[in-house]
Structure 1
Amino acid sequence: MATATCQLTEEQFQCSICLEVFTDPVTTPCGHNFCKKCLDQHWNDTRVYKCPNCNQAFHSKPELKVNIFICEMAQQFRSRARGSPVQMKAAAGEVGCDLCLEPRLKALKSCLVCLSSYCELHLQPHRSVAGLKGHQLSPPLKDLSERVCEEHNKPLELFCVRDECCVCVFCAYRGHERHRVLPLEQGCEQQLTKKTDEIQWMIKRKETKIQELRSSVEANNKAADSQITTGVKIFTALKECVDRCQEKLIQEITRRRTAAEEQAKGYIQEIEQEISELKRRCCELKQLSQCDDHFHTLKNFSQHGSAPETKDWKYVHVYEPKYAHIVVRTLSDLEQDFIKNTKHLIEENLRSARIHIKYIKLDSGTVHPQLAVSDNCTEVQCSSEKITVEDNPHRFDKGLYVLGTMGFSENFYFEAAVRGKSEWTLGVAQESVTRKGDITLNSENGFWTIGFRKKTFYASATPERETVPILQPWNL
Structure 2
Amino acid sequence: MAQAGVFLEHDQFNCSICLDVLKDPVTIPCGHSYCKGCIKGYWDQDDYMGIYGCPQCRQSFTPRPVLGRNTMLADVVEKLKKTGLHTAPSEESYAEPGDVECDVCTERKKKAFKSCLVCLASFCETHLRPHYESPAFQKHKLVPPTKKLHENLCAHHDKLLEVFCRTDQHCICYLCLTDEHKGHDTILAATEMTQRKNELGEMQSASQQKIQEREKELQELRQATQSLSLSAKAAIEETERIFTELVCSIERRRTEVKELIRAHERAALSQAGGFLQQLEQEIADLKKRDAQLGQLFQTEDHISFLQNCQTVCAQPVPVELPKMITDPNFGAVIAAISEFQALLEDVCQGGFVNISEKVSDVAIMQPEKPKIITESAAAVPTPVFGSHFVGQNPFGTSGVTTPGFGAFTFSSYGTRSSGSRQRLQQRRRRR
In proportion to residue count, which structure has more helix? 2
Report which of the two structures shows the higher radius of gyration computed on alpha carbons: 1
The TM-score, its normalising length taken from structure 1, stands at: 0.46
The TM-score, its normalising length taken from structure 2, stands at: 0.49
